[in-house]
A and B are shown apart, each in its own frame.
Chain A
Amino acid sequence: MSGLSLGEALIANQTGPDGIVSSWGVALTPVCCAEMESGAANPVIEFRDVSYRVDGTQVLCSLNLEVARGETLVLLGRSGSGKTTTLKLVNRLVTQTSGEIFVNGSRHSEVDVIRLRRGIGYVIQEVGLFPHFTVAKNIGLVPKIEGWKEERISGRVSELLQLVGLPLEIASRYPHQLSGGQRQRVGVARALAADPEILLMDEPFGALDPLTRDELQRELFLLQKRLHKTVVFVTHDLREALRLGSRIALMEAGKLVTVLAPSEFLKSDDPWASAYVRAFGDGLESAANRGAS
């Protein structure tokens, strides 16, 4: 990939072979991947004129959106903007009233919904770990029902725990014994267990304290560099969006307002975008910083 920033290079040198859990000697802000062109040839997810209406309220209105392979698309908006609904339309937790959604070229209403969901990782703010399962059983549930062998599952569990920066002995603990940050790491590990292509994340770090949130954002960024999943990430936090997103899709009142790369977002004239920037105050440049000017 061309155009590695100074920051990225420094990080690359500091991380060990496992990619994560190295000392954060230098407090560098992670920098997003080189900008991907929107509308890449074969979008992984495609929304065509999607609308959603429930109980007399128009939640989404004629949404048209494409998500390219390997990118991190952030759905940014305030509460009620429809961003979570958009996310849930992808794995059919919600069914659109009109319009079509395509996943990897197939109309997703024609695909078996269970198979669809097994191929999509889903991480939510409350995490939703199964309280009666150990960490290992939580992570290993989908592989188990997919029929993986025991050794393969335990191997995968160890692999994932390392990936999300958790010590291996945590595998036999129960969710109630973990901290919030640890729980969400397990949540991410669980979502990645069957190696899905797509990862949906609904404000996953919203309930965590700022320090933990910061930590997990950095780690997610590095994870994504390593795994190149197609991520759709919902947040109302512009800083988070600038940090993690390859593109930011700004939504307001059920409509897609604009889709911009982080650096463009800061400079944008669009009234909603600039309102957002103003609301978040200073220090956003560093979040979106792409290295040397």
Chain B
Amino acid sequence: MNVVRFLLQNHTQVLELTLEHLWLVGWSTAFAMLIGIPLGIAIALRPRLNKPVLASANIIQTIPSLALFGFLLPVPWLGARSDRLAILALTLYALLPIIRNTYAGIRGVDPAVVEAGRGMGLTEMQLLYQVELPLAVSVILSGVRIAVVISVGLATIAAAIGAGGLGEFIFRGLAMVDDRVILAGAIPAAMLALLADFGVGWLERRLRPR
């Protein structure tokens, strides 16, 4: 249990790096939700737009993360600070699951319910806020959960460009050829991902329509 001892001895640094990691994941997920959920709602209500939007998000997803970091480095304001860059890249990667799940969640609402609502005289906005969104919340959250788990993983790579976070332990450990340091980064990162998966998953289940 060398690793455990190492983690305990260096708990301040572990905590610090974990907070840095959360900083990257937190901001990027927040931005991805701010952009992705409204976008998902928009394409759910106007299906004609769905192909270009989903296709773009898909393309972004296929770019390897390290490559995307590399692309963005020369960009003036962004590339100057690697944490800014990392947050942008992580936001982009989080978009697809969030947009897609928002779209699927809203389209997946029972059509009979939507028809009844419309026939009752609910406006499009009322239908959205009172009926479709509450019923889609669980699916949307599932997209957020996927986004968070992906982000926790990608944020470890962000350390390669100097954005900090638990990945820094991993890269430093590799340079030092020291397993304990590598694991001191890898284990908390894995635990963060599991925690996020569990936590958001719990919320999903609570909000699932009966």
Contacts and interface: CB of A to CB of B under 8 A. Distances in A.
Direct contact of A and B (CB under 8 A): yes
Contact of A124 (B116, B122, B134): B116
A211 B131 CA distance: 32
B119 interface: yes
Interface string A170-203: 0000111000000000010011000000001000
B113 A128 contact: yes
A240 to B, nearest CB: 20
B10 interface: no
A121 to B, nearest CB: 8
A122 interface: yes
Interface in A71-119: 91, 93, 114-119
Contacts, number: 68
Given A114-B123, A117-B119, A118-B120, A128 B210 contact: no
Contacts of A175: 210
A130 B112 contact: no
B119 A93 contact: yes
B113 A131 contact: yes
A118 B131 contact: no
B120 A141 contact: yes
Interface string B87-119: 000000000000000000000001011111111
A126 B121 CA distance: 18
Contact of B119 (A115, A124, A141): A124
B209 interface: yes
A172 to B, nearest CB: 14
Give the interface size bracket for A toward B. 20 to 34
B56 interface: no
B131 to A, nearest CB: 6
A128 B116 contact: yes
Given A141-B130, A174-B210, A129 B113 contact: yes
B135 interface: yes
Nearest to B207: A132
A127 interface: yes
Contacts of A114: 121-123
Nearest to A190: B120
Most chain A beta-carbon neighbours within 10 Å: one of B110, B113, B119? B119
A128 B135 contact: no
A128 B126 contact: no
Most chain A beta-carbon neighbours within 10 Å: one of B116, B131, B210? B116
Given A93-B115, A174-B210, A128 B110 contact: yes
B210 A122 contact: no
Interface in A110-154: 114-120, 122, 124, 126-132, 141-142, 145
A91 B135 contact: no
A127 B130 CA distance: 17
Contacts of B122: 114, 141, 145
Contact of A128 (B115, B130, B134): B115
Contacts of B116: 122, 124, 127-130, 187
Most chain B beta-carbon neighbours within 10 Å: one of A118, A126, A174, A187? A126
Nearest to B114: A128
B120 to A, nearest CB: 6
The 4 closest A-B pairs by CB, nearest first: A128-B116, A117-B121, A122-B119, A126-B112
Interface of B: 110, 112-123, 126, 130-131, 134-135, 209-210
Given A127-B112, A129-B116, A130-B135, 16 more contacts: A93-B118, A115-B121, A119-B121, A122-B116, A122-B119, A124-B115, A127-B116, A128-B112, A130-B113, A130-B130, A131-B110, A132-B209, A142-B120, A145-B122, A187-B116, A200-B119
28 contacts: A91-B119, A93-B118, A93-B119, A114-B122, A114-B123, A115-B121, A116-B121, A117-B120, A117-B121, A122-B116, A122-B119, A122-B120, A127-B112, A128-B114, A129-B113, A130-B117, A130-B130, A130-B131, A131-B110, A131-B113, A132-B134, A132-B135, A141-B130, A145-B130, A176-B210, A187-B116, A190-B120, A191-B120
